[in-house]
Structure 1
Amino acid sequence: MTRTQGREGAALVLAEDLDQCRAGFGALLARADLPAAAAAELRRRYGEPHRAYHDAAHVGLLWLRHLLHGGDPGDRDFALALLFHDAIYDPMAKDNEDASAALLAQLVPGDTTWAQDAIRATADHLAYAGTDCRVQRLLDLDLTPLAELPDVFARNTGFLRREYAAVDEARWRAGRGAVLARFLEAPAIFRTRLATTYEARARENLTAALAELRAAA
């Protein structure tokens, strides 16, 4: 199969075009029908200079993949969860998800309980023990970048390294290696039908990246 054939190819090639991904973020903002002040705050936050990976393009990519894989474009709760899941991001903090859920509650009127709970579940994708299929889909979408084409996976690794610029190389390699190993040790990385597209490729990327880290140690 070529880089552009089939749904799998289309989903993966999306990540190569950061402008298209940023446009997806704009489409998601429109779909979420937020108060103007909330939309402006999200644009500001996702444009913060310390973000290289966890930015508007990342969120837009996940929304476009959600649609490409048959997701419901009218599910506003899901759109809110996806839109706010990285709204607050400090690489050195441990409470980003709680803070992002709280920001959603602060900025968006009405009952956002489900979306807040879904955001909190993204604090540890592998630890989620619930059976809510929509939460599982959110978690899976957030992990699809593990399965990018090799050049995009390498680009994303570079973006993540920039976000952790305050961490020295030895600590970065140790922390990154631990994260990759934990995903590889899991019986399954993906819980939904997205596994058909992303599971095998993610394991290939993770195995290669972990081997590279260990060789450089």
Structure 2
Amino acid sequence: MSGHSVSLRATQALAIDPAQGQASFGALIAQADVPAQTVAELRRRHAEPHRGYHDAAHVGLLWLRHLMHGGDPADRDLARAILFHDAIYEPLARDNEARSADLFATLVPGGSDWVQAAIRATADHIGYAGGDDRIQRLLDLDLTPLAETPAVFARNTALLRREFAAVPEPEWRAGRRRVLERFVTAEQLFRTRLAAIYDAPARANLATEIAALAG
């Protein structure tokens, strides 16, 4: 793959606005093929007022990028994993992913164990030690917002800060810095071919914010 084609694809991939992500949420739901009452519950959850970043636009964006980068549009289980991975989101909780996996099992009877495992893996993107290619793709997709344009990255950071409004500023800055430093020092931030597009801009954003937090 030439540097020019990577640059072009990167520009296209990072040019997705929230409205496109929100619109893609409907396509994601359609592909996930879940019961109507489950759809209503997921729409309600992703519209909860305490969500700023972790909303319908976020999961819609991940599905859209999956398709943009040649992902299988008929991969129902991956669609379900994307759709449910933030179904339960309480900013100060440490078990959101485990509870989201359990919610999937409750709301989608007969759903695959793979979806639950994939959802649970999103609890620690860097710590995942498995070799499942599709789970690695899910984790990479979930990290692509780290590589947004600087303006969008800053907007996302502000949305995250709103979610953690209950956390005092010094604690927020210290915690945010620890998270970002773990990402930027990871030998492999992205594990799939998406690294060619997203790794460099993600590390640049991370370094810029870490420097700002240190200052």
TM-score (norm 2): 0.96
2: CA distance, partners of 1:119 / 1:161: 23
Q: For the residues of structure 2 that align with 1:159 and 1:102, how far apart are their CA atoms? A: 27
Counterpart-to-counterpart distance in 2, 1:20 and 1:121 = 26
Structure 2: gaps (5+ residues) = none
Equivalence map 1:1-217=2 (5 Å): 6-14=8-16, 17-215=17-215
How far off is 1:9 after superposition?
1.0
Q: Secondary structure at the match of 1:73?
A: coil
CA distance in 1, matches of 2:66, 2:89: 22
Partner Cα distance (2:56, 2:65) in 1: 14
Shift of 1:6: 2.3
Note the alpha carbon deviations across 1:183-203, whole angstroms, 9 max, x for none. Answer: 111112000000000001100
Contact residue 122 and residue 139 of structure 1 kept, 8 A: yes
Q: Residues of 2 paired with 1:180 and 1:33: CA distance?
A: 35
Residues 140-185 of structure 1: per-residue CA shift (max 9 Å, x gap):
0000000000000000000000000000000000000000111111
Q: How many angstroms does 1:10 deviate by?
A: 1.2
**Deviation for aligned residue 1:109:** 2.1
User: 1:85–1:101: 8 Å Cα contact kept in structure 2?
Assistant: yes
Q: Is the 8 Å Cα contact of residues 34 and 108 (structure 1) preserved in structure 2?
A: yes
What's the % identity of the aligned pairs? 65
Q: Which runs of 4+ in 1 moved over 6 A?
A: none
Maintained 8 Å contact 1:104/1:112: no
Q: Partner amino acid for 1:6?
A: L
Instruction: Tell me, in whole angstroms, the C-alpha distance in 2 between the residues paired with 1:12 and 1:74.
Output: 23
Q: Is the 8 A contact 1:7 1:68 kept in 2?
A: no
Cα offsets for 1:119-144 (capped at 9, x unmatched) = 00000000000000000000000000
How many Å separate the matches in 2 of 1:6 and 1:39?
35
Pairwise CA distance, 1:111? 3.3
Helix, strand or coil at the partner of 1:126: coil
What is the aligned residue count?
211
CA deviation map 1:47-67 (0-9, x unaligned): 000000000000000000000
